[in-house]
């Protein structure tokens, strides 16, 4: 990391306590990005931070090998279609050792999932000790699409905000660092990205006619996000609003939020749980051919 | 890929039909590696092949979005401790989009796993349509460590070779491309790598005293591997012996085996399953602010 980079990005992006209005944030902003730096591209990001991210992630992974109480990190990615959840995973999580990563993409709930409480399917996908978990969508869908489309009764939606806060508090207390990011794109940028998916045959697979139905409910989604970010912006698991119109900024910002979360764990390397000299002697006694 | 690279690496590394003796292969060899090329390092491998691997993997991923019959790829990594299974995942699989990858590391079976047939836990971790699955160890442990340490009766071990062949045949027939690699290191190289883990506090976590116990049963493991590679070297799911003393060669070779497996699928991009013009009109009608 360049010395000019911010000491801590998280405070610049996290929501203040009190009512949150997601429409009040600029999707094109670049808070914390060093003014003297050129526009970042993927390769720059990689060469700048990959060794650091790699080192921090390996310490976490190492901590989890023999210790079921080792910490975990959970990155929650939320945002409307085209906001860049997939691109973040590809470019940011793609810099990490895949052995230490657990990614889950939450789709429309199955019948089996609907037969359980909304957190049932989420519990099953939590990162294990030493892992970085990534939720591509999450339990927040249960207070977003379910609220906008009235897929659950109003009192059930209401109950969920509290249930989410209790759930996340329990996660944090049991050693999981929770990093919640709302990828904030503008309507104009979303329209542009949807158009690109229709203009390039290699991107047709990313296009879903239902995305336009969702896009046309923009204001209802902004309201639902504002309520969710207001109600579930706890001290232990605060929300970050990540401006996402500029992909390079989004990748840079989420990489730094992860680096900060991993760095805060302040992990050393696990000590040898064996007699070093005795083991060296045993290894030296092995034949070579 | 440079034009000088082999048209197909797989035939150079796959085992011929008939009895296999794994001790007959040179762990330091570099079959198929272009003679006019410099020793490969990680960055070279990345810049040479990452765009191609990326393109092929994205086609597979795209195929799996809406088609439960889409193909899958399964990479099986076997080898003694320090052979480089983890390093392969980190450096080779680390070049792929993590969204399309499913990695599972098979440990000593749990009580629940032991209460089922040996393939039960394997079935649960198979790649889904469009995914590349990676097995760090696999169902072959059930005819390797279990044979060497007599953890199952001899007739049960004997039964498993046939069961594995039937299982893998079914996988292939249902659309999974199976790429099996035995990472072949020498005793001298293993001893060197074990020593390094004891000399560097950042590597203590990779060291397990049990590894020396396993290393001391070298000949028994070579026998068990030879039998497994002989008995389960089917036409549809052949074994490859990958020389693994040189890490750069191991990474290069497995990358190319994956590229060949993905390339053989010959996947185009999924066609639009919607009315393109109508959707473009709908997107254009979305407001921008």
Mean pLDDT across A44-67: 92
Domains and CATH numbers, chain B: 10-284 (3.40.50.300)
- Residues in contact with A213: Cβ distance below 8 Å, sequence separation at least 6, in sequence order: none
Min Cα separation B285/chain A (Å)? 9
Mean pLDDT across B224-251: 97
Distance in angstroms (rounded) separating the CA atoms of residues B278 and B284: 10
**Residue A219 dihedral angles phi and psi, to the nearest 5°:** -65, -40
A270 touches chain B (CB under 8 A): yes
Please tell me which residue of chain B has the smallest CA distance to A208: B274
CB pairs < 8 Å spanning A and B? 132
- Find residues 172-191 of chain A whose CB sits inside 8 Å of chain B: 186-188, 190-191
B283 touches chain A (CB under 8 A): yes
- Find residues 58-87 of chain A whose CB sits inside 8 Å of chain B: 62, 65-66, 86
Residue A202: band (very low, low, confident or very high) from pLDDT cuts 50, 70, 90: very high
Residue A2: band (very low, low, confident or very high) from pLDDT cuts 50, 70, 90: very low
pLDDT at B232 over 50: yes
What is residue A151's predicted lDDT score, i.e. its pLDDT? 95
Selected residue of B130, B276, B283 to mutate for chain A interface (largest A Cβ count, 10 A): B283
Mean pLDDT across A48-59: 94
What is residue A43's predicted lDDT score, i.e. its pLDDT? 63
What is residue B41's predicted lDDT score, i.e. its pLDDT? 60
pLDDT at A45 over 90: no
B200 touches chain A (CB under 8 A): no
A272 touches chain B (CB under 8 A): yes
Q: What is the average pLDDT value for chain A, to the nearest integer?
A: 94
Mean pLDDT across B70-78: 98
pLDDT at A62 over 80: yes
pLDDT at B30 over 90: yes
pLDDT at B3 over 60: no
pLDDT at A1 over 60: no
Selected residue of B53, B82, B86, B198 to mutate for chain A interface (largest A Cβ count, 10 A): B198
- Host H or E run for residue B76: strand B72-78
- pLDDT digits 0-9 by tens, B134-166: 999 999 999 999 999 999 999 999 999 999 999
**Cβ separation of B280 and A86 shorter than 8 Å?**
no
Phi-psi region of A137 (alpha: psi -120 to 50; beta: other; left: phi over 0): left
DSSP label at residue B28: T
What is residue A163's predicted lDDT score, i.e. its pLDDT? 98
Mean pLDDT across A259-285: 97
- SS3 for A110? coil
Distance in angstroms (rounded) separating the CA atoms of residues B54 and A45: 18
Mean pLDDT across B54-82: 96
Q: Which of B65, B274, B273, B282 is nearest to A195 (CA)?
A: B282
ipTM of the shown complex? 0.93
Q: Which of B100, B88, B63 is nearest to B267 (CA)?
A: B63
């Amino acid at each position: 990391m360049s010395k000019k980079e911010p000491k801590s990005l998280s405070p610049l992006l996290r929501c203040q306590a009190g009512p949150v209005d997601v429409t009040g944030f600029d999707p094109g902003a670049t808070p914390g990005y060093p003014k003297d730096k050129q526009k970042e591209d993927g390769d720059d990001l990689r060469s700048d931070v990959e060794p650091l991210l790699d080192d921090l992630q390996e310490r976490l992974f190492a901590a989890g090998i023999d210790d079921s109480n080792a910490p975990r990190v959970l990155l929650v990615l939320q945002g409307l279609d085209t906001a860049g959840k997939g691109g973040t995973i590809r470019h940011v999580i793609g810099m990490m050792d895949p052995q230490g990563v657990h990614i889950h993409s939450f789709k429309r709930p199955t019948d089996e999932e609907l037969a359980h409480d909304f957190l049932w399917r989420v519990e099953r996908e939590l990162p294990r000790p030493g892992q970085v978990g990534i939720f591509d969508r999450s339990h927040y869908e249960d207070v977003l699409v379910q609220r906008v489309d009235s897929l659950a009764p109003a009192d059930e939606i209401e109950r969920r905000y509290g249930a989410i806060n209790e759930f996340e508090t329990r996660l944090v207390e049991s050693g999981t660092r929770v990093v919640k990011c709302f990828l904030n794109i503008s309507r104009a940028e979303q329209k542009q990205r949807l158009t690109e998916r229709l203009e390039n045959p290699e991107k047709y697979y990313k296009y879903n006619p239902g995305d336009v139905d969702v896009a046309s409910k923009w204001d209802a989604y902004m309201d639902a996000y504002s309520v969710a970010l207001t109600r579930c912006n706890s001290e232990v698991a605060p929300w970050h609003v990540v401006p996402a119109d500029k992909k390079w900024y989004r990748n840079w910002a989420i990489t730094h939020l992860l680096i900060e979360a991993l760095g805060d764990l302040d992990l050393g390397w696990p000590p040898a749980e064996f007699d070093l000299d005795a083991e060296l002697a045993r290894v030296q006694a092995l034949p070579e051919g």
